[in-house]
Structure 1
Amino acid sequence: MKKTISICWFRRDLRLADNAALYHALKGGHPVLPLFIFDKNILDKLPEDDARVTFIHQTIEDLKDLLHKQGSDLLVKYGKPEKIWPEILDEYHVTEVYANHDYEPYARERDDNMAEFLTSEKIAFITFKDQVIFEKDEILKADKSPYTVFTPYYKQWQAKLDNFYTKAYPTEKYFKNLLASKNHPLPSLKEMGFEKSSLKFPKIDYKSKLDGYAKERDFPAMDSTTHIGLHLRFGTLSIRKAVRDAIDAKSNVWLSELAWREFYMTILWHFPYSANGSFKKQYDKIKWRNNETEFKAWCEGNTGYPIVDAGMRQLNQTGWMHNRVRMVVASFLTKHLLIDWRWGEAYFAEKLLDYEMASNVGGWQWAAGSGNDAAPYFRVFNPELQTKKFDAKLDYIKKWVPEFGTKKYAQPIVEHTFARERVLKVFKEALA
């Protein structure tokens, strides 16, 4: 006879502590089987050395160890969810499936399809808010339309923020309701067509950075940012804990950065076309040059603009780039080289450990001028001035571009004044 259970389906919430779906599942009345699916719909598009798959695999190993200590285990499957779920239902009598919300286009489509399938099997699919403090329609203007400018959004966000929204879910109180389960095998990276990455993953160790964050975060050589993007992306850190820590440290600037992340998620939710089209639709008329040779030079960090090259090499070698420099390299690609922001967004999507579609698309469209609340199109970052302001001693540049100042270093790919005049002309013609 099949065992009657409920399932908590982990996706981008890879922790047992303070997990909304897990908490509600454990209180639901049936033993809870934790599940994770390595989704071929996503993995098949990734290179075999994708470091994020290594990170997820290591995190899954850690989760399994924690669950073993509770006499339970994580069921791990590799394949397409639409094929795996019928197999699971053959093995178990499932009454409910619990999961946390995801806001990206593929995830929404997957969950809509799963809800339809599970409902047809008379199984409840119950989902919760977990990766943000406020989602979807929780922060709206008086006329019930979504905010498209950050400052008024953030005022509302702050006004609504209280202990109710930041309180942790006490999952550990209910671990006794986990399904006592045998050791489920974990597919190896090799079995899934991946190799183990040599990149280092940042630890969750940000509290010491919060005191100096507001003053030091813009200086890339100082390494004064928190490096928690990866952990928020895959849910190894609870957003509620991060917000509580920001409030406790009185780090308002960091709190606003956490709110920016939610603002971009709200934009993606309400305006899903902006994932691959300009938020301001008239910007789709821009005649990009899209020179592949220049794009390759940008990707490799050989543009002859040292702060741009330092940023791209940092990205290529570590899977991370300083946030101030992200703005500089994005502006350079879209404004100096007149290359479509989608090319840069896709490159970041492939390389960034902390890749988050909403924030990445939002940041790129901000730099290109096509996004909501974006920099005006005539704002063209001057890489030289950015260097003088944020890397005056050239410490960051010398670290990542050791040949800078020698004959081996690349000549500038384009002259700044010429590039600025060219982009203004092209943008004016498109937006006229």
Structure 2
Amino acid sequence: MASADQLIGALEGLDANSFVSEAERVRAMDALTLALSKVHKPWDIVWQHCWVNPATNACVKTLIDAGVFSKWIKTGGGEKTCAELAELTGIDVTYPFCLTLEEHSDGDAGRMIRQISGQNLVIETAEDTYKPTPWVHALAEDQALANVYGEFYGFVNSPMFRTLPAYLKKTGYKVPTNPNDCNWQFMRGSDENLFQSLGANPAAAREFNDAMESHSKHNLTPWVDVYPTETLVKESKPDRPLVVDVGGSKGHDLTKFHLRHPNIPEGSLVLQDLPDILKELTIDDTISIHPHDFFKPQPVKGARAYFMHNVLHDWEDTKAKQILSHLAEAMEPGYSKLLIHESLVSSVKPLARVTTSDITMMACLGAKERTEAEWRALVESSGLKVLKIWRPRHSVESVIEAERVL
């Protein structure tokens, strides 16, 4: 049996750059998470869930709002004391994130910095002296990522998860299937669904979109690395749209496609979403913007590929089938492909990132992530057939490839 010293020694120096590939990093992270769960005693887990995580998030949001991280990195990102960090922000050193030595007689300066240091989010190099981690650099340099701690967490995630147990108890633990009558309405005390609530709150909508962008950028394998997109380009007809991104938000996935295939014709990529989402959008000329409601017939006919990323998991089967049926009607048999980029819940040892998304869908939309069998049944009920599911082991999401039934 290894001693604690041997284990600690083996782990020293390990970081995100220690692996030959992203797949290896994810495998190691999953193994370390499993090992940590075995080392924890029950109270350790309760303490982490109910004290450490909420306290840390509160500190992080406060430090972001105070400009601590952004100004720290802007001035070089070197080692700083709490008093130096306070001076950078122009806030008096009695501000809660930094107690002065005079106020705290044992010399342990820093309340909020001290809290996140205890979670290894900053590194304490000496008494009351800290250096930033890659996480601090990321929050300072990527405003969308920092905004995940804002209205996405405060307006969406935190209240909907807090109220979910009471909602399920009230309904007799029935599976919610209606986005207009689920926990979101119970939590808000109104008839608005999630999207209507976001539409009425521009700040929340903006930071919700930032969270989705960050989720796609940092947590998900780009679809062009999952599906062989070169086959779409090679066999495409020049007078037809190449890829139609249905419900594509700000066009992040089409941008990834264009970066992989920079020589495609101007306007060959079509971005579709609701008008409010697409307004004032600045995007590459290769991408043509077409406002569209996917619950209505698809106006672009015979495209090489129709692509949807994290659209169908927002909707229960009846609504999802309606969306798919409109696409099936627009597809040319034998030429058009439907590519659905979504999570699949594994039947054995599903990824925590997928099960977390599943509970999120339940809490805010009465929807769900689907198993492979559920996806096949849904797709095939809509006049389509599944050709292949592209499912790399390390990827959170897969690409379901389908075509119209002749």
What TM-score bracket applies, with the shorter chain setting the length?
Answer: under 0.3
Q: TM-score, normalised by structure 2?
A: 0.26
Q: TM-score, normalised by structure 1?
A: 0.25
Higher strand share: 2
